């Protein structure tokens, strides 16, 4: 069943809403572990991971522009500028190692809650990294991305 996001949260097919995509994925995996039959459980692909990073740049840039809080505006501005460079570094390193990435996914959803969005992004990066190439140079860039997400979550939660 497909995953989708609405203003109420994430859904796995008709199940939901869930606060994060990772929670919806957790429910899907539990269903499969309990015998649910479907063509396949969602796997994290390089195309999905890269598109998630690139969409995160766009999403947080839009949230930055829509923010009415100075601290949120600054935190999101710093985030999308840094993530753009890290995403580019990851993609170029991946392509240098494995070749050009093709067949990008076209799905896109614009979030409206910066903190919830970044918490979900953090959960996604944590879950996806185990299915991505484990070459240290690529995992190190993912570490930098995870650190950037975590520090931005801190800024959004505590620096009002």
SS3 state at 4: strand
More confident residue, 111 or 5: 111
Whether the CB-CB separation of 114 and 14 falls below 8 Å is answered with no
Q: Average pLDDT for residues 134-151, to the nearest whole number? A: 97
18 secondary structure, DSSP code:
E
Model pLDDT for residues 99-110, shown as the tens digit of each residue: 999 998 777 788
* Domain residue extents for the chain: 3-33, 46-158
Check whether 13 has a pLDDT greater than 80: no
Q: How far is CA 102 from CA 3, 46, 91, in A?
A: 22, 10, 12
Query: Rounded to two decimals, what is the model's pTM?
Result: 0.74
**pLDDT band at residue 43, thresholds of 50, 70 and 90?**
confident
């Amino acid at each position: 069943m497909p995953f989708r996001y609405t203003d109420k949260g994430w859904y796995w097919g008709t199940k939901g809403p869930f606060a994060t995509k990772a929670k919806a994925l957790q429910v899907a995996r539990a269903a499969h572990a309990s015998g649910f039959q479907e063509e396949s459980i969602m796997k994290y692909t390089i195309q999905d991971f890269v598109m998630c990073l690139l969409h995160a740049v766009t999403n947080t840039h839009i949230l930055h522009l829509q923010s009415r809080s100075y601290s949120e505006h600054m935190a999101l501005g710093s985030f999308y500028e840094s993530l753009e460079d890290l995403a580019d570094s990851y993609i170029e390193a991946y392509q240098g190692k494995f070749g050009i990435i093709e067949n990008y996914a076209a799905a896109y959803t614009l979030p409206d809650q910066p903190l919830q969005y970044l918490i979900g992004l953090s959960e996604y990066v944590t879950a996806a990294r185990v299915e991505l190439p484990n070459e240290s140079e690529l995992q190190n860039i993912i570490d930098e991305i995870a650190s950037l997400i975590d520090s931005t979550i801190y800024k959004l939660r505590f620096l009002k």
